[in-house]
């Protein structure tokens, strides 16, 4: 969720809340991520089709290898559609005391996580995310947690700083 001008939609929703929707960089990451996932789905189906051709000595145009390959291509297509549609339903709202992540295609899920409930913060950055200057933030709590994909590093730092500010001091630790 880019914080740069024109890169992502951002507007305050009152009382110190910042709303972030995916900008062009984030949408590109979702699309590339879905393409890679689709190729990982396609490869086993392609291998099964090739093994069928060589094992049973049939033409590749035979019904079984062709249908297996078609199933793999359908899976690739579904992953690409996911990469195009999912960012439209992705929203991160950064509040003064909690973060809210809303996502989903068929079923919309809204997760609120209070900063004082966070036990661990993980920042993950794959090579593809680093190339797009994005990071992934994982906030762990006792009740689960939330994973925020394709987040601008400045927004990740803002959330991490707010979590650190809300943490209660441990007894006996200065």
Q: How confident is the model at residue 11 (pLDDT cuts 50, 70, 90)?
A: very low
The number of domains in the chain is 2
Question: Which residues 6+ apart lie within 8 Å of 70 measured at CB?
Answer: none
Task: Supply the Cα-derived Rg of the chain in whole angstroms.
Answer: 21
* Residue 121 DSSP SS3: strand
User: Given this model, what pLDDT does residue 10 score?
Assistant: 45
Q: Answer yes or no: is 3 within a domain.
A: no
Burial 131-144 (b: 16+ CB within 10 A, else e): ebebbbbebbeeee
Q: What is the pLDDT of residues 22-32, one digit of tens each?
A: 999 999 999 99
Residue 51 has pLDDT above 90, yes or no: yes
Question: Which residues 6+ apart lie within 8 Å of 81 measured at CB?
Answer: none
- Are 77 and 93 in a shared domain? no
Can you read off the two tokens belonging to residue 122?
């993980």
Q: Answer yes or no: is 174 within a domain.
A: no
- Residue-range definition of the domain harbouring residue 111: 10-22+89-166
Q: Which of 120, 124, 101, 98 is nearest to 111 (CA)?
A: 101
Contact (Cβ atoms closer than 8 angstroms) between residue 89 and residue 45: no
Whole-number Å distance between alpha carbons of 151 and 10 = 13
Q: Answer yes or no: is 106 within a domain.
A: yes
Q: What global pTM score does this model have?
A: 0.83
- Are 67 and 117 in a shared domain? no
């Amino acid at each position: 969720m880019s914080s740069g001008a024109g890169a992502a939609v951002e507007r305050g929703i009152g009382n110190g809340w910042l709303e972030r929707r995916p900008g062009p960089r984030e949408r590109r990451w979702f699309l590339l991520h879905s393409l890679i996932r689709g190729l990982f789905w396609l490869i086993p189906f392609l291998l099964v089709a090739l093994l069928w051709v060589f094992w049973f000595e049939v033409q590749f145009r035979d019904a079984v290898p062709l249908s297996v390959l078609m199933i793999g291509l359908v899976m690739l297509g579904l992953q690409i559609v996911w990469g195009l549609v999912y960012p439209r339903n992705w929203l991160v709202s950064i509040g003064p005391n909690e973060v809210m992540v809303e996502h989903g295609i068929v079923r919309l899920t809204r997760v609120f996580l209070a900063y004082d409930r966070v036990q661990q913060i993980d920042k993950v950055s794959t090579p593809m995310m680093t190339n797009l200057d994005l990071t992934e933030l994982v906030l762990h709590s006792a009740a689960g947690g939330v994973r925020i994909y394709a987040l601008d590093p400045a927004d990740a730092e803002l959330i991490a700083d707010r979590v650190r500010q809300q943490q209660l001091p441990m007894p006996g630790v200065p």
